[in-house]
Structure 1
Amino acid sequence: MAIRYRKGRASPWQCYWNNPLTGKRECANFITQHEAEKHDSLIKHRIKFDRESFKKGEMESEEPQTITLEACYLLYLREKQFSKKSLLWQMDSMRRPLEQFGMLPIADISREHITKVMDDMAKTGVKPVTVRKRLSVLKTVFRWCAGNGYCSMPDFPKLPSGHYEKFIPPTPEEITAILSVASPHIARTVVLGAQLGVRVGPCELLQLTWDDVDLEQRILRVHGARKNLQALWREVPIRESLLPIFKTWKVQDIRDGAQHIIHYRGKPVQSLKTAWRAALRRAKITRNIRPYDLRHAFGTEMIAAGVDVGTVAKLMGHSTPIMLLSHYQYVMDRQKRAAVESLPDIGHVPNGMCPIEKAPTE
């Protein structure tokens, strides 16, 4: 399987492969590279899961009541025409169901089959939220099959809760320990995540360039992760104590010819996983702390300092404070208790203000 470009053709992008049943070369031509890549992913899926579909007319000749889950899933993919990234997610989510009962007639698949897949995922350490996401794909496929008359909708078991695990953000002491041993691009990640609330990952942090930094106005312009559709970007003020650090970084990057703020030897960074784990190991931190937890530390410290939730939500790029109210509830509960305890003591309370009813006598 491969894709090639043929210059001067009306449909220049060609996807070609060897038929696994006959061994003969087959191909399909497309106008754009994107279409060719999508078709290439589909062919790979057919070769891995449904080789019999390469027999001409076999898919069309199957009766609805005897069609297997694999064959029906292939028809589903053909109709939906997912992007390459979505197709890979679909294939990964359906891997276990296809392995266990992909060759069964789809009408014979019962609640017990689906429950067994769910239990097997849990036994192998798959988190409940991931189990829910993957089996939701299977549920969607069954809905499509039922709508097209291939089967009736089976009695699906209740999927695990979709709530994420409660996170424990890094403490100021842990952040200081990481900074003291981190490589330069991880140190920048710590500052931008814990001090400016940037989403640590390709959606925000790894896209930042020096064009997004205004040192005169002390503002960092963060282009959103498409989670707040009301604003394409947000402006986060840079603390005055961080200004010399940013100026030093900029001088170094101009000298090295680096455009991105997070880079490794002048080249943009694609992943922080390896360097982050090395920093935790050198800092002698044994508990699991993710790079994204730096952003949680930003929100936690802001709320604990008494900043109103609406302002914190705007700084973190949330359209509403609902996310903060659910994720940082434990911080706000502690803050409420501290606020009540800060009230001035009114001294002795007369007994008349707190009447005590006598117990009824028989």
Structure 2
Amino acid sequence: MASIRKRGSSYLLVVSMGYDFEGNRIRPKQKTVHSPEGLTQKQKEKWLNEQAVLFERECKGLPQEVDRSITLAKYTELWLREIAPGKLAKSTLARDRQDIDRFLPVLGHYKLTELRPEHFRNFYTELRKVISLETGRPLSEHTVEGVHATLCTILSDAMEGGFLDHNPAWRTYRYAGRKKEKKIADLETLQRIIGALEEESLKYETYFKLIIATGMRRGECCGLQWGDINWDERSIHIQRNVVKVTGEDIIVKETKTVAGDRYVYFSLEMESLLKEFQQECAWETETYDGRKLEDADYIFRRHGARLPMTPSTFTWRFKLILKKHGLPPTLNVHSLRHTNASLLIAGGADVATVAGLLGHSQPSTTLDIYTHAFDKNKKAASQVLQEGLEI
């Protein structure tokens, strides 16, 4: 794809044209574009990527023998067979298949070139009325947003392959209603959770306290190895993510995003707990496996195996802990990550710092997710200022 270079308020698209028959580099083609006003950072990135694809196709010509009369259903079949397996993780592809099952019955008969923005907007409106068989309530907005994301991904690949001149689904989705605040434990509830964890086995206490202390994702915590810990700096290198797809073996892969490969830090108390758990793991490994504990061993691993534990195991255990101690049942393991973020924000951490510790690719993502927390922090800071100035 064409490279994108920022030039003040504009962007320069550059397409490499390769070399001629004598081995001389052909002069690259360039084009300056200005993004539309009012776009979020994520929307701007999508717009620029689309412009880069279109410009490269313009410079190099459309691929030959492309059937531009293909329907969405037929192209999706091609996409699942030839494109998706090479670019998506199994867990992502499994989720995308669920989204595909939702939109194909409604939109699948349209030719790609017939699709218009109103087709998607009308579809999302009707999708919000569908009753979930699991909850008995209308589908969540998160589900609708996910279907839109899958459609955009598929149609972007169709555009890159020359089946379309633009992505007709782009900017057709708008979040309906108000976004709900993330499920976060207040300080009193958090203290009760910590107290409850201290009644659990050392393994579960360590796992859940580690997420509270660092804000890592549950799969990232499952992917930790003892060699990822730097005891001198009291830091942990997060560089893996564990996922489990129904019917498939457990998968250990790279972190969710490039930014997810990061370092987080822990306290002296957490260090003491980790070392105590390490001693327990060393004893179990020597007793039952007949070997020494190694840096490559997963911190939270299955008994008698070198495989990490499944994230859903901890999800199930956390629900039992909440029920046992009369804690809010609406909380989940991810709530501990959100709680960590809210505590960082309440402590005055800036958005870039919070984004880096949580592994978000863009600070705008952090700001979008934790808008309420930052707003509360700004309000509190404003009150302190006004009181100090006696306004």
TM-score (norm 2): 0.57
Paired residue type of 1:343: G
- In structure 1, the partner of 2:274 is 246
Q: What is the SS of the residue equivalent to 1:221?
A: strand
- The CA deviation at 1:74 is 2.3
Q: Distance in 2 between matches of 1:79 and 1:186?
A: 42
Paired residue type of 1:93: D
Whether 1:262 and 2:296 are equivalent positions in the alignment is no
- The CA deviation at 1:110 is 6.6
- Which of 223, 230, 245 is 1:207 aligned to? 223
- Which of 123, 139, 162 is 1:126 aligned to? 139
- In structure 1, the partner of 2:83 is 80
Cα deviations by residue, 1:195-253 (Å, 9 ceiling, x for unpaired): 2x241222x211112222344x2512222436455x953251x3223333222212111
Q: Does the CA-based 8 Å contact 2:145-2:173 persist in structure 1?
A: yes
| Aligned residue runs from structure 1 range 101-140, under 5 A | 101-103=107-109, 114-115=120-121, 117-124=123-130, 125-139=138-152
Q: Distance in 2 between matches of 1:306 and 1:155?
A: 39
Paired residue type of 1:199: M
TM-score (norm 1): 0.61
Q: What is the SS of the residue equivalent to 1:234?
A: strand
- In structure 1, the partner of 2:21 is none
Q: Does the CA-based 8 Å contact 1:221-1:234 persist in structure 2?
A: yes
**Higher RCO structure (Cα 8 Å, ≥6 apart):** 2
Structure 1 vs Structure 2: percent identity of aligned residues?
18
Measured at CA, do residues 149 and 168 of structure 1 come closer, stay the same or move farther in structure 2, by a change above 3 Å?
closer
- Give RMSD over aligned pairs: 4.0
Q: Does the CA-based 8 Å contact 2:71-2:111 persist in structure 1?
A: yes
- Which of 207, 210, 213 is 1:192 aligned to? 210
Number of residue pairs aligned between Structure 1 and Structure 2: 280
Q: Distance in 2 between matches of 1:164 and 1:72?
A: 33
Which ranges of structure 1 fall in alignment gaps of 5 or more residues? 1-62, 347-362
Q: Distance in 2 between matches of 1:77 and 1:168?
A: 35
- In structure 2, the partner of 1:298 is 340
Q: Distance in 1 between matches of 2:152 and 2:275?
A: 53
Larger Rg: 1
Q: Does the CA-based 8 Å contact 2:121-2:172 persist in structure 1?
A: no
Measured at CA, do residues 324 and 112 of structure 1 come closer, stay the same or move farther in structure 2, by a change above 3 Å?
closer
Segment drifting more, 278-287 vs 155-164: 155-164
Whether 1:95 and 2:101 are equivalent positions in the alignment is yes
Paired residue type of 2:234: I
Cα deviations by residue, 1:20-53 (Å, 9 ceiling, x for unpaired): xxxxxxxxxxxxxxxxxxxxxxxxxxxxxxxxxx
- Which of 170, 177, 186 is 2:185 aligned to? 170
- The CA deviation at 1:255 is 0.9
